[in-house]
């Protein structure tokens, strides 16, 4: 089973959106050191008046101050057990455990996705906003034979502002782990703040489908059999068709099709099969309006030892596809009604 590690080297330049928060980001970057999380929360409440600005301030503080690193307890895989007589006692114990975890990670300025999410959730609670830590999976592979019972490996956040729930992933927005140095590299990625639910469902799948915030939730099989989307894919005016599968077939006769429901006027793309080091231009045939199709033939002998194909645009990787032998796995096709950062030198932050 091919693992695809997420690259955070690409940043989505949502210029207009990010510019709305320049004054917020600038002020937060000048904040002094806070010993207690509630001191940070009070400062944010005093500095900013709107809910959006306060949530943005909390989010940015996390991305510029927290370091992704497992603490000793997590390296030892220690489990916490609780006993309770009623729901009230259960809630209190869980709350105490969460607060203890928040205090430790806030003091150390380090943690994993759970710590990032708990801190952001606590600050949003202090602002008086409905808030939720979402548990689910982050996409780290393309697999057509995935089970619906997935092992949860990631957490992120939802916050309600003005009656609308917004999705955020402060962990993925903060940076990546370099596989060579094994060190955290800070790299802000704007895409993971107030992300459109349709786009969010391409890389994060909640355990409870309600938190996809979609009218037609994506299934686990649809999620994993789709291509892998780099953050650079979003905001470019590109939309893949539901007919495009994330798994390409390797054969001397078979032609693979990548269908686009929408492309920008300038849509020059290249692709590379990992291991070959050779960039090839991706050709397009127009179907209707902005819809296009690209054809790729993967010769069995030439690509015998390679199982990953990356599509580039503006010299940035935007999509990954898995390459399988024609008869190795059964390919699951997606239905038209269910449309839906990876670099070998980086690891995903779970």
Q: Structure pTM?
A: 0.81
Strands 164-168 and 193-195: antiparallel
pLDDT at 57: 98
Instruction: Kindly report, residue by residue over 172-182, the tens digit of the pLDDT.
Output: 999 887 778 88
What is the topology classification, in CATH, of domain 15-225? C8orf32 fold (3.10.620)
Residue spans in the chain of domains classed CATH 2.60.40.10:
231-333
pLDDT at 277: 78
Quote the tokens at residue 301: 């002998």
Cα separation of 226 and 243, whole Å?
10
208: DSSP letter: S
pLDDT at 76: 38
pLDDT at 81: 58
Superfamily of domain 231-333: Immunoglobulins (2.60.40.10)
- The three-point CA angle 338-285-250 to 5° equals 70
pLDDT at 94: 72
Query: In the chain, which stretches have pLDDT less than 70?
Result: 1-18, 71-86, 89, 147-150, 252, 301-305, 326-350
Cα separation of 146 and 84, whole Å?
36
246 phi, psi to nearest 5 deg: -80, -5
Other Cβ atoms closer than 10 A to 272:
17
Instruction: Kindly report, residue by residue over 245-278, the tens digit of the pLDDT.
Output: 999 988 767 789 999 999 998 889 999 998 777 8
Cα separation of 282 and 321, whole Å?
14
Cα separation of 184 and 109, whole Å?
13
pLDDT at 148: 62
pLDDT at 133: 97
pLDDT at 343: 37
148 phi, psi to nearest 5 deg: -70, -20
Cα separation of 94 and 74, whole Å?
17
DSSP string, 307-347: -EEEEEETTEEEEEEEEEETTTSPPPPPPTT------TTEE
DSSP string, 64-116: HH-EE---HHHHTT-------SSHHHHHHHHHHHHHHHHHHHHHHTEE-HHHH
Residue spans in the chain of domains classed CATH 3.10.620:
15-225
Strands 247-250 and 316-325: parallel
pLDDT at 237: 93
Sign of CA dihedral 216, 222, 227, 229: positive
């Amino acid at each position: 089973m091919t693992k695809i590690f997420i690259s955070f080297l690409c940043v989505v330049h949502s210029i207009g959106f990010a510019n709305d928060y320049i004054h917020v980001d600038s002020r937060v970057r000048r904040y002094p050191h806070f010993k207690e999380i509630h001191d940070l929360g009070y400062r944010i409440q005093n500095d900013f008046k709107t809910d959006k600005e306060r949530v943005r301030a909390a989010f940015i503080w996390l991305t510029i101050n927290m370091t992704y690193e497992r603490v000793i307890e997590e390296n030892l895989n220690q489990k916490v057990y609780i006993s309770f007589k009623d729901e009230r006692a259960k809630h209190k114990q869980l709350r105490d455990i969460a607060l203890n975890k928040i205090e430790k990670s806030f003091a150390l300025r380090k943690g994993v996705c759970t710590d990032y999410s708990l801190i952001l959730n606590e600050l949003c609670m202090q602002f008086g906003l409905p808030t939720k830590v979402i548990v689910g999976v982050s996409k780290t592979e393309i697999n057509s034979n995935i089970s619906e019972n997935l092992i949860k490996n990631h957490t992120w956040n939802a916050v309600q502002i003005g009656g609308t729930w917004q999705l955020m992933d402060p962990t993925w927005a903060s940076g990546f782990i370099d596989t060579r140095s094994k060190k955290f590299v800070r790299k802000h990625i704007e895409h993971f703040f107030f992300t459109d639910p349709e786009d969010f469902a391409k890389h994060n799948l909640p355990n409870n489908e309600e938190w996809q915030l979609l009218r037609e939730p994506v299934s686990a099989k649809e999620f994993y059999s789709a291509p892998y989307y780099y953050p650079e894919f979003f905001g470019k005016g590109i939309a893949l068709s539901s007919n495009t599968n994330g798994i390409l077939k390797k054969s001397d006769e078979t032609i693979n099709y990548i269908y686009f429901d929408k492309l920008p006027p300038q849509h020059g793309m290249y692709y590379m099969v990992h291991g070959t080091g050779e960039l090839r231009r991706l050709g397009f045939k127009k179907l209707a309006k902005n819809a296009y199709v690209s054809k790729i033939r993967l010769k069995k002998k030439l690509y015998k030892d390679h199982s990953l194909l990356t599509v580039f645009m503006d010299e940035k990787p935007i999509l990954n596809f898995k390459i399988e032998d024609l008869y190795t796995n059964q390919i699951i096709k997606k239905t038209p009604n269910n449309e839906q950062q990876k670099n070998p030198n980086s690891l995903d932050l779970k």
